[in-house]
A and B are shown apart, each in its own frame.
Chain A
């Protein structure tokens, strides 16, 4: 069974610390030249990195061979942290502070073919939902408990697919075209339904195979914890719609005063 060594612990703390340092460095550069960077984005960045750190550090990381602990870890890594990190607009910050050569390369990637394929709703749903189903309904879960490399790869996939889904639904960074508000709600409905179905399948069949700890509790945490983050996602999608339509109406009213 794989457990956290001292070195793993240091790495768990290192990634969020480095990302936080880079983000705050970017913000301080912007502010130094007199630009505005919304405080809400800084709060989102700190919150997202704290969620990452909470998932990667003890006490959670030390007990993630227990299935309920593993589920909480995955809700933090795959849902809450990505939602907050995407709202922190890290790519926009990078574009505004990086040297022109890096900026050019970043823009080429963002508007390239690979980005368009990777952010298509079908791709994102297959990566996110398909990844979860594959992890819990196949022997992958048991295998990842025995191999450090596979364990880390699973974590990385969970974070990356979570970031893609969150960006598709509520992202503020530039990138390929995204669906309308109704389309985003439809994508959320598919992802949320699949989470619920998966959680009940796990509960019904005592899965994942080989998982330690209370599997029924883990399945219920997946069900209700998934609900909580999906409500946050729905609220974020609709809040963006509400603010955007409000701005459009205000602009129209200014142009043609009654």
Chain B
């Protein structure tokens, strides 16, 4: 029970962190990502709106669940970290494949050869996701 709750809290925080890093680092600091890209179809805007809002809500909810687990003494560290890595990797993989490629929301960077960027982005996402799954299975097994 508390392991599942810990994994859930970690996953929400992970999704939130991935969304936060995407927004602050890639949009605001590096200016690689564009607010809007002229090739974006309507489905891209809808997906962006939902996942952008979900990222913020997930971060806040995950942190309050974390505080609640600590308060009850039911915090399972390994499950929480497993959830966090899986959540962050899963969100980044969705962003890198569906949102960037399928829905063409925006690309990782402009005026460069994208292949290396796309590979680095999605391989990093898969590594995070697998690390999280391994951690979760070890703790649950």
Chain A residues within CB distance 8 Å of chain B: 185, 188-189, 192-197, 200-201, 203-204, 220, 223, 227, 230-231, 234-235, 238-239, 241-242, 245-246, 249
Query: C-beta contact mask, B46-61 vs A, less than 8 Å → 1, else 0?
Result: 1011101110110011
How many A-B contacts at CB < 8 Å in the complex?
A: 66
Find out whether the CB atom of A242 lies under 8 angstroms from the CB atom of B49: no
CA gap between A201 and B44 in the complex, in Å = 11
Inter-chain contacts of A188 with B (CB < 8 A)? 53, 57
Q: Whole-angstrom distance between the alpha carbons of A125 and B60 in the complex?
A: 22
Question: Considering only CB atoms, which chain A residue lies closest to B71 in the complex?
Answer: A246
Give the chain B neighbours of A238 by CB distance below 8 A. Answer: 60-61, 64
Give the shortest distance, in Å, between B123 (CB) and chain A (any CB). 28
In the complex, A200→B64 CA distance in Å?
A: 30
- Contact residues in A for B46 (Cβ distance below 8 Å): 193, 197
Q: Mark B17-49, 1 if CB is under 8 A from A, else 0.
A: 000000000000000000110001000011011
B residues within 8 Å of A by Cβ?
35-36, 40, 45-46, 48-50, 52-54, 56-57, 60-61, 64, 67-68, 71-72
Task: Specify the chain A residue showing the minimal Cβ separation from B53.
Answer: A192
Q: Which residues of A contact B48 (CB under 8 A)?
A: 196-197, 200
Complex Cα gap A60–B48 (Å)? 30
Q: Decide yes or no: A192 and B36 within 8 Å by CB, A197-B45, A242-B64 being known contacts.
A: no
Which B residues are CB-close (under 8 A) to A230? Answer: 53, 56-57
CB neighbours of B68 from chain A (8 A): 242, 245
The docked-state distance in angstroms from the alpha carbon of A246 to that of B71 is 9
Q: Which residue of B36, B40, B56, B71 is within 8 Å of A234 (Cβ)?
A: B56
Report yes or no: A200 in contact with B36, Cβ–Cβ below 8 A.
yes
Are B36 and A231 interface neighbours, CB within 8 A? no
Q: Which residues of B contact A185 (CB under 8 A)?
A: 57, 61
Chain B residues contacting A200 (CB-CB under 8 Å) are 35-36, 40, 45, 48-49
Interface centre among B45, B50, B53, B61 (most CB of A within 10 A): B53
Q: List 20 A-B contacts (CB under 8 A).
A: A188-B53, A189-B53, A189-B57, A193-B50, A193-B52, A196-B53, A197-B48, A197-B49, A200-B35, A200-B40, A200-B45, A200-B48, A201-B45, A220-B35, A230-B56, A231-B56, A234-B56, A234-B60, A238-B60, A245-B68
A186 to chain B: closest residue by CB:
B57
B44 to chain A, nearest CB (A): 9
Give Cα A230 to B55, complex, Å. 11
